[in-house]
A and B are shown apart, each in its own frame.
Chain A
Amino acid sequence: MLLIPCPWCGPRDESEFSYGGEAHIARPREPDALSDAEWADYQFMRTNPCGWHREQWLHTHGCRRWFNVERNTATHAIHAAYRIGEAPPLREPAS
């Protein structure tokens, strides 16, 4: 059960949140200019790393804000939570 540091509310229990999948996938500006394969790539293809992963979370039963979390999928360690539009906080590459 993760303890997720909501950027607005502070650390809260995972049961208050919903998971939103990989972060930083921008919606294409001109979808009609894309090939089917490119559109499918945007829609379906996601990284599936064993390690650090930037992902979206929603504080469903709290402030109802979406934000980003950088989480290690292997250890569940959370490096940082940051607001939409903010740059991910730096992380030591080795850690």
Chain B
Amino acid sequence: MTQPRRLAEGGLIDRGEPLRFVFDGRELEGYAGDTLASALLANGISVVNRSIKLHRPRGIVGHGAEEPNALLQIDRGAVTLPDRRATQTELYDGLEARPAVGRPERDPGAAMGALSPFMPAGFYYKTFMSPQGWWERYEQVIRPAAGFGYAPNGPDPDVYDRCNVHCDLLVAGGGAAGLQAALTAARAGARVIVADEQARFGGYLLASRAWIGDESAQAWVARTVAELAAMPEVTLLPRTAVFGNYDHGFAGLVERLSDHRPPGKRAGPRERYWRVRARQMVLAAGAIERPIVFGNNDRPGVMTASAVTTYIRRYGVCPGQRAVVFTNNDSAYAAVEALQAVGVSVVVADAREECSAAAAAARDAGVDVRPGSAVLSAHGRRQVTAATIGDLARQGQQRVPCDLIAVSGGWNPAVHLHSHIRGPLRFDHDLATLLPASGPDYVRSAGAAAGVFTLAEVLANGAEAGAMAAAALGFEPVMASVPTVRDDDPAPGALRVLWRAPLPSEGKLPAFVDLQNDVKTSDLELAVREGYRSIEHVKRYSIMGFGTDQGRLGNIVGSGIVAELLGENVETVGTTTFRPAWTPVSYGALVGEELGALFQPVRTTPMHDWHVARGALFEDVGQWKRAWYYPRAGESLDDAVRRECLATQRGIGALDYSTLGKIDIQGPDAVTLLERVYTNNWRKLAVGRCRYGILLDENGTVLDDGVTARLGEHHYLMYTTTGGAAAVLAWLERWLQTEWPELDVYLTSVTDQWAIMSLAGPSSRDLVQDLGTDIDLDPQAFPFMAVREGHVAGVPARVQRASFSGELTFEISVPADYGLFLWERAFALGERYGITPYGTEAMHVLRAEMGFIIVGQDTDGAVSPLDLGMQGLISDRKDCLGKRSLSRPDFRRDDRPQLVGLTPDDPEVVVPEGAQLVHNPDQSTPVPLEGWVTSSYYGARIGHSFALAMVNGGRARHGERLTAWDLDAGAIAVTVTAPSFYQPPRE
């Protein structure tokens, strides 16, 4: 296999290790050390993708995170990665890539390009918004035509790792400045993490021909990295992007662990998410070369000058044979040198009228340097064939054949990590860009990220940043003497501000500011013409700087052009906000191990295995698995629930009540706490008795409810709903800690400490007696709403007589470890009474027949106890949380939704929960709503279907006929009743 654009020698690639890969079905070859981008260029692939909106053919522009076009789909199936930048993807044997948008050859969407004059910014908003409601139809056509890539076709088979680490100093970027900073701080004794998103450290030094001291830049990098690697307190993280900088020294990093290996040779986690808390930070993320906008500047073969230099020197690939270099500053002369050195003929269009020293040196070396001129347009479609070079001061233009246009419009420091933490920026007129101004004192930018470009200065600046960080940490840094530097590559000095070239004589051509999002200068002109002034608004109208691009390449240029259009200076226009993430982060890395069974804890009761063995189906209540119902062979949910309800009414039903929230309350002021949080009175509750109470929030709406038992003089046990346990404990703790710290009372969650078996039904007393107990079960000695402590079946037990079903009920609490024992014993002895387990569904039916509410099902965040008809539970003797709100006028309205019962005309029809209640569903819309259904069941004990509902002014409407209406069930005639259906047996 041949690599037509590969140079015979040079570069940091291993020609002895060829790697085979596939691009868009073509089998190709690259070398170890290549990125996918350098390998594609080596093979002479010019078109790598199509643009997202207009489907124009696009080639590789950059060499790193700034690449706007080469977003490729890597590999297939469940492991496929959409939109990977070829410039950041290391080549491996067997890699398979294809364009994320369209096809490079014969693209079916290419006609979009011809339509581009009719598709300016805002086109979709303006065109597809009518007729009303048609967007969903348009969308089905538009979405597939646009990018970006394809989602994996199955669950991610990879695993991801996560770690939390603290360090003294985090250095973002392992180029010249970052390595110097790390070395200086580490030598002083600091614990340092250095992260670089590339596979190897060195940054731009890897493409430099400079000498540092008596060694080459690459040798200096290798020696410095070796010294750092030998230090025990230094962590070197190559292939690790610092993607976000958050507050107080917290940074998010993602390390690529296995993506660079061939699919068969990957082991362990794919990525590792580093959550780093650093005391000091040095941001040395470098700078991004920006383009200058001209006609058809998106043609394959138009690249940044630094990318050209990098491909030639680092990867041994020459991206063209005849080059035009278009620059407004000195730095592009590095590319001129690099091109010349490999025998490429170069014409330089230098926008500056006067020849700088670098330009003069190139001219002396025989290069055709044309001062005061600019590239006005590119020619060719799938590959640049020529450039039109025009004189900026005078008329006249010339077409110069070429297959490569290397552009430099100046440099933008990568200030993103500085901006993430709201670090301010200032405009620098010499560099015509934004530089980090002083931000939080623990963060320092260094090197090109701080606008320092000359290598000697970068090394000194990096060392200084590292020394200052070390000093701030309390170390005593020694400033290493900065070695002498010889660097023939010019820094980006003597810049002439030029955002866009003038129009060529053939007239207006598409000229792109943001290649990834297909935003042209004409879109910015339109935005300004339509009245947008703020750059933030222009961005959102034109989508400039959106998506994964985040304006890395085009943002400052866009601001400059908008400034020109508005007649303002670019400082005033400013830039849009850079936000995390700096580069895309996979969901897998963020999720880590927290998925599947590890997503959240599953809580089961001590009797859980028994329920499973008995064939129970479960429902999730918070984190709890609760038995829902216990179907016998052939039984439906409805069959099973009817059977369980009737068994409870006629014999004994057993419910696993262990999940109920339990808060142990102790202390001399325990009763004061209850008085302040419950609406009813607690001072006269005797030891051994229990009482139902409701908790309100300060807004007067129902927060939770449950029974609280008085176990001793200063000892209470509060039961909460299963789902509300944690919230109620937190609520009580908050009031105790913040508002009533003087109360001598302590709260402990004992939910998991007790298993509860609730035995309901006429034979329940007999069964408790049979189990053996030292508690006197006589109704006189142990009345309803009493609690007793003693033993049941030989184990310590607390027995409470409350009832959620209306039947005679004994709730037996035993230490959790005895729960299964008691349960199995009760079933063994209860057979003669027809003991039947019942689940939460039957429990709901039984309680609803009694008119007992479920907080969160029959109530929402707007329901007061008055709405529920619970006036009697509100003491007028004392204040409690939320009570004052109940006297607000709105809570006193008599047309508020109030709790009622409903009886359907057809006793077998169960109204769907959530159905709306109306007078006449055939009325013209909007139909006045009278209320809604909150709970609805077939009541086996009462022999007909019924429901609970909230109905406007419902308490005064008992007997009224309404229609329940549901999308699926249609209209169901019902009668409003009191919210109580079952007359419990008298004891």
Determine how close the nearest CB of chain A comes to the CB of B864; give it in whole angstroms. 14
Write out the residue numbers on chain B whose beta carbons fall within 8 Å of the beta carbon of A13.
164, 250, 277
- CB of A64 within 8 A of CB of B741, answer no
**A2 in complex: contacting residue of B248, B739, B888, CB < 8 Å:** B248
Contacts of B741 in A (CB 8 A): 84-85
Q: How far is the CA of A18 from the CA of B741 in the complex (A)?
A: 20
Cβ–Cβ contact A43 & B889, under 8 A: no
Closest chain-B Cβ to A80's Cβ sits at a distance in Å of 15
How does the 8 Å CB contact mask read for B914-955 relative to A, with 1 for contact and 0 for none?
000000000000000000000000000000000000000000
CA distance A78 to B422 in the complex (A): 16
**Do residues A66 and B247 form an inter-chain contact, with CB atoms below 8 A?**
no
Contact A31 B733 (CB under 8 A): no
Q: Is B664 an interface residue (CB 8 A)?
A: no
Q: Which of B248, B730, B734, B879 contacts A31 (CB 8 A)?
A: B879
In the assembled complex, B885 has its CB within 8 A of some CB on chain A: yes
Q: Is A75 an interface residue (CB 8 A)?
A: yes
Inter-subunit contact B884/A1 (CB<8 Å): no
0/1 string, A34-46, CB within 8 A of B gives 1: 1010010001000
When the two chains form their complex, are residues B884 and A31 in contact, meaning their CB atoms are under 8 A apart? yes
Contacts of B730 in A (CB 8 A): 58, 60
Given contacts A31-B884, A34-B884, contact A1 B737 (CB under 8 A): no
CB pair B250–A1 under 8 Å, yes or no, is: yes
**Nearest-CB distance from A14 to chain B (Å)?**
8
CA–CA, A71 and B247, complex, Å? 12
B738 touches A3 (CB 8 A): no
**Is B532 part of the binding interface, using a Cβ–Cβ cutoff of 8 Å?**
no
Interface pair B879/A20, CB less than 8 Å apart: no
CB distance from A85 to the nearest CB of B (A): 6
Q: Would you call B247 and A76 a contact (CB within 8 A)?
A: yes
Contacts of A56 in B (CB 8 A): 738
B879 contacts A32, C-beta separation under 8 Å: yes
Would you give the 0/1 interface string for A81-95, flagging 1 where the beta carbon is closer than 8 Å to chain B? 000110000000000
- CB of B319 within 8 Å of the partner chain: no
B885 touches A1 (CB 8 A): no
Across the interface, do B889 and A3 meet the contact criterion of CB distance under 8 Å?
Answer: no
Contacts of A76 on B, CB cut-off 8 Å? 247-248
Question: Is A65 an interface residue when CB atoms closer than 8 A count as contact?
Answer: yes
Q: How many residues of A contact B (CB 8 A)?
A: 25
Give Cα A25–Cα B739 distance, bound, in whole angstroms.
9
B883 within 8 A of A: yes
- Looking at the complex, which one of B249, B699, B888 makes contact with A36 (CB distance below 8 Å)? B888
Whether A1 lies near B246 (C-beta < 8 A) is yes
Which B residues are CB-close (under 8 A) to A78? 248
A75 contacts which chain B residues (CB < 8 A)? Answer: 422, 440
Is A27's CB within 8 Å of the partner chain B? Answer: yes
* Interface residues in B397-422 (C-beta closer than 8 Å to A): 422
Complex alpha-carbon distance, A1 and B889, angstroms:
43
Instruction: Report chain A residues within 8 Å CB of B24.
Output: none
- Minimal beta-carbon separation of A84 from chain B (angstroms): 5
Q: Known interface pairs A32-B884, A39-B885. Does A3 touch B249 (Cβ–Cβ under 8 Å)?
A: yes
B249: which A residues are within 8 A, CB to CB? 3
Q: Measured between C-beta atoms, what is the minimum distance from A71 to chain B in Å?
A: 10
Contact bitstring A58-80, B, C-beta under 8 A = 1, else 0: 10100011100000000110100
* Distance A39 CA – B741 CA, assembled complex (angstroms): 23
A residues near B738, Cβ cutoff 8 Å: 20, 56, 66, 84
User: Within 8 Å CB of A84, what residues of B?
Assistant: 737-738, 741
User: Is the CB–CB distance between B734 and A66 below 8 Å?
Assistant: yes
Question: Is B698 among interface residues, defined by CB-CB distance under 8 A?
Answer: yes
**Other-chain contact of B250, A3, A43, A85 (Cβ < 8 Å):** A3
* CA–CA, A34 and B321, complex, Å: 85
- Residues facing A in B831-885 (CB within 8 A) are 879, 883-885
Docked pose: A31 CA to B422 CA in angstroms: 43
With most chain A CB atoms within 10 A of its CB, the pick from B164, B248, B730, B885 is B248
* Most chain A CB inside 10 Å of its own CB: which residue of B698, B699, B738, B888: B738
Interface centre among B249, B277, B737 (most CB of A within 10 A): B737
B247:A31 contact, CB within 8 angstroms = no
Given that A1-B250, A31-B879 are known contacts, is A43 also in contact with B737, CB under 8 Å in the complex? no
A58, B735: Cα distance in complex, Å: 12
Q: Is the beta-carbon distance between B698 and A43 smaller than 8 angstroms?
A: yes
- Are A1 and B734 closer than 8 Å at their CB atoms? no
CB-defined contacts of B888 to chain A, threshold 8 Å: 36, 39
Q: Which residue of B lies closest to A36 (CB)?
A: B888
Known contacts A1-B250, A3-B250; A27 and B739 CB within 8 A of each other: yes
- Once A66-B738, A84-B738, A84-B741 are accepted as A-B contacts, the answer to whether A43 and B885 lie under 8 Å apart by CB is yes
Q: In the complex where A31-B884, A64-B733 touch, is A1 in contact with B248 (Cβ < 8 A)? A: yes
Enumerate chain B residues within 8 angstroms of A3, measured Cβ to Cβ: 247-250, 277
Chain B residues, Cβ within 8 Å of A39: 884-885, 888
Inter-chain contact B737/A66, CB cutoff 8 Å? yes
Q: Mark B709-736, 1 if CB is under 8 A from A, else 0.
A: 0000000000000000000001001100
Interchain Cβ contacts under 8 Å between A and B, 5 examples: A32-B884, A43-B698, A65-B737, A75-B422, A76-B248
List B residues at the A interface (Cβ < 8 Å).
164, 246-250, 277, 422, 440, 698-699, 730, 733-734, 737-739, 741, 879, 883-885, 887-889
Using a CB–CB cutoff of 8 Å, the interface residues on chain A facing chain B are 1-3, 13, 20, 26-27, 30-32, 34, 36, 39, 43, 56, 58, 60, 64-66, 75-76, 78, 84-85
Besides A13-B164, A43-B698, A85-B741, 18 new A-B residue pairs in contact (Cβ under 8 A), listed by A number: A1-B250, A3-B249, A3-B277, A20-B734, A20-B738, A27-B739, A31-B884, A32-B879, A32-B887, A34-B884, A43-B885, A66-B733, A66-B738, A75-B422, A75-B440, A78-B248, A84-B738, A84-B741
- 10 pairs of A and B residues whose beta carbons are closest in the complex: A31-B884, A1-B250, A3-B248, A66-B737, A1-B246, A76-B247, A66-B738, A39-B884, A27-B739, A2-B248
